[in-house]
Amino acid sequence: MTPSPMQLDRRDFLKGCCAATLAGGSHVAVGATASTTQDTLVVVFLRGAMDALSLLSPGQGHPDRGNYEANRDNTRVPYAGTGAGLPLGGTNWQLHPRAAALKSLYTQGHLALVVGAGQMAPNPVVRSHFEAQANLETGVGGGTGSGIGWLTRHLVSANLPANVPVPAVSMGSITASSLLGSTEAITMNSGQDFRLDLGNWPWNAADNSGIAGLQGVVEVLPSLWQSSTLPLAPAGLAALDSLSLFRAINFSTYAASNTSGYQPSGGASYGGGGFGLQLQNIAQLVKHNVGLRIATVDLGGWDTHNGQGSPADSYDYFGNQVQVLNDGLNAFYTDLSTDAAGNYMKNVSVVTVSEFGRRVQENASGGTDHGYGTVMLAMGASVNGGQIYGTFPGLASDQLFEGADVAVTTDYRRVLAEALVARLGNANVGYVFPGYSGYAPLGIFQTSAVADTVFKSGFE
């Protein structure tokens, strides 16, 4: 079903890498005990500031239900009747009614939620989307430091093998800031589109010319860039490397007319939307054994200043957003957990982040303005799910940050750091998150037993 895997020399794979070198010559001090797993971490960024109080609202009997209802009228998630939230067993929280699959994953113990999560630093707090996103993704506790993303620092310090075909992908046109500076990440909006296939057929590429020895545009292109001294040249060569790596992979969805296309397992349906297809591309790469450690994917559209809607009404904009998230994550989990080769989700973890939460008090446009504390999700077969982590700071006015927002009680880096340490085998938390010293695991992730990690096929 899948095309032939990329081949690597296993001796190279086992060699590991010594201290990685940053451009400019500074050496990274990485722990001698750093070990490597073959786990994949998928970071889903809910861009625009997801209204956490609508995704996970205080349900019936929750001490803050009264405060919630007092602040939320047009955007309220009811606990009974039309559009009632989905109560999470053993708690008095409820998920948005459009998150039915997420609730199911929670019940099965594969999904955990962290309340009161957010950016404890920076100090001062910022309510600018663009600043807050950049701060979160550079992960230096405020500001953007040297412009290097936290995932880039992870890749540098994770003691990865010397050769990995595709250590990281960033789904989108523009590289996620968390991977900024990395020369090892492939950025692409869509696997299906990411190929040079629109030139005229006889001369586009050797693989469609039908003539042995013909050098098409695709084959000649690198020579233009390899010899260039322009600043853009390294980026262009990385693009050509990426295109070349993925050229043999058919990213289109399986169909009768495309039998070499990708067929998700377990009847998983990613739908036709961008978010679903990007998750499908990631799942395919996981199964394709290209050494994928990190994937980033965005779901935008959460900046609901206006007309956020309510599940109690026919107009439910936020609910539509939740549905996309729900369906995408559900398909991804189903696909990767039911493959004939085994349960890939044991070694794949998904974490969601958002730059901040939204104002507790809704506005008169039926929306919510920028806030602070939010909720993070963690999904995987190695996640200790079915639990809500963190401390909810409360919705009484004297409990709110600046009298207006949900406060932050869990630094988002605490959750991400645990994923790094427990799943990706990278103990260099202080390097990945400079200045962050408060790390202690919340127990969200089961620790990956490195010795048990089998070599995926494709690494001979």
Partner 1 sequence: MSSTTAASAAATSRRRALSLLASALGVDVSPQPAAMRRTDKVPVDTRLARLDQQSAQAATFSGPPSAIAWLNRATFGCTQADLAAFNALGGSDTARWTAWLAQQLDPASINDGACTARIASANFQSLNLTPGQLWSTFHADTANYSHRMLPVAEVECATIIRQTYSQRQLFEVMVDFWHDHFSVFGWDYDGGPMFPAFDALFRDMAPGKGVFGNFKSLLMAVCESASMMYMLDLYSSFAAGPNENYARELCELHTLGAMNYAGVVDPDPYSGVYPIPMVTAADGSSIRAMYVDDDVYNATTALTGWTISQSTWQVGSDPNPGMFEYVDALHYDKVTTTFLNRYIGANTGITAGKNIFNWLSMHPGVATFIATKLCRRLVGDNPPGSLVSSVANVFLQNYQAPNQLQLTTQAVLASSEFQNSYGLKMKRPGVAFVGALRACGADFTPVPDLDNPGYVSGQWTTTSSILWALQSAGHRPFYWPAPNGYPDTQTAWSSTGTLGLTLRMLSFVLESTQDRNVAGSPFLADVQAQTLAAIPVLANRTAANIAGLWCDRILGYRPTNVYNAAVDFMRQNALATDALDLTTDTWDSGHLSKHYTKSRLRSMVALILSSPDFLTR
**Contacts with partner 1 in 202-261 (CB under 8 A)?**
202-204, 206-207, 210-217, 220-221, 223-225, 227-236, 238-245, 247-248
CA distances from residue 116 to 112, 373, 375 in whole angstroms, order as listed: 13, 5, 6
Which tokens hold the place of 96? 């948005």
The answer to whether 406 and 372 have CB atoms below 8 angstroms apart is: yes
Select from 62-70, 329-337, 438-446, 451-459 the region that touches partner 1 (CB under 8 A).
451-459
Smaller CB separation from partner 1, 35 or 244:
244
- Give the C-alpha separation, 373 to 367, whole Å: 17
Residues 117-146 that bind partner 1 (CB under 8 A): 122, 124-131, 146
Pick between residue 200 and residue 257 the one whose CB is nearest to partner 1.
200
Residue 220 or 396: the one with the smaller Cβ distance to partner 1 is 220
Rounded (10°) CA dihedral 22, 25, 29, 30: 40
Interacting residues with partner 1 between 408 and 447 (CB under 8 A)? none
The nearest distance, CB 133 to partner 1, in angstroms, is: 10
Q: How many C-beta neighbours within 10 Å does residue 162 have?
A: 14
CB 268 within 8 A of CB 258: no
CB of 220 to partner 1, least distance (A): 5
Region 349-378 residues binding partner 1, contact defined as CB under 8 A: 363-365, 367, 369-370
Q: CA-CA distances (angstroms) from residue 460 to 6, 163, 285, 454?
A: 10, 13, 17, 12
Q: How far is the CB of 417 from partner 1 (least distance, A)?
A: 20
Binders of partner 1 among 158-187, rule CB under 8 A?
A: 160-168, 170, 172-175, 180-187
Task: Read off the tokens for 148.
Answer: 């290097």
Question: Is 39 or 93 the residue whose CB approaches partner 1 more closely?
Answer: 39
454 burial via Cβ count (<10 Å: 0-12, 13-18, 19+): exposed
| 304 touches 50 (CB < 8 A) | no
Within 10 A of 130 (CB to CB), how many other CB atoms are there? Answer: 10
Q: Which of residues 56-95 bind partner 1 (CB under 8 A)?
A: none
Residue 101 or 221 with smaller CB distance to partner 1: 221
Least CB distance from residue 83 to partner 1, whole Å?
Answer: 23
- Record the tokens describing residue 333, joined without a space: 């989990």
Identity of the residue, 59 or 274, whose beta carbon is nearer to partner 1 in the bound complex: 274
- Choice between 67 and 170, CB closer to partner 1: 170
Q: Return the SS3 of 378.
A: strand
Count of positions on this chain that bind partner 1 (CB under 8 A): 125
Nearest-approach distance from CB 265 to partner 1, in angstroms: 13
Gap between the Cα atoms of 221 and 209, Å rounded: 16
Beta bridge partners of residue 297, listed in sequence order: 44
Give ∠ CA 136-155-297 in degrees, rounded to 5.
50
Question: What part of residues 381-410 is at the interface with partner 1 (CB under 8 A)?
Answer: 402
> Counting contacts by CB under 8 A, is residue 308 touching partner 1?
no
Looking only at residues 312 through 351 of this chain, which bind partner 1 when binding is defined by CB under 8 A?
A: 341-344, 346-347
CB of 285 to partner 1, least distance (A): 12
| 1 interacts with partner 1 by CB under 8 A | no
Cβ closest to partner 1, residue 188 vs residue 378: 188
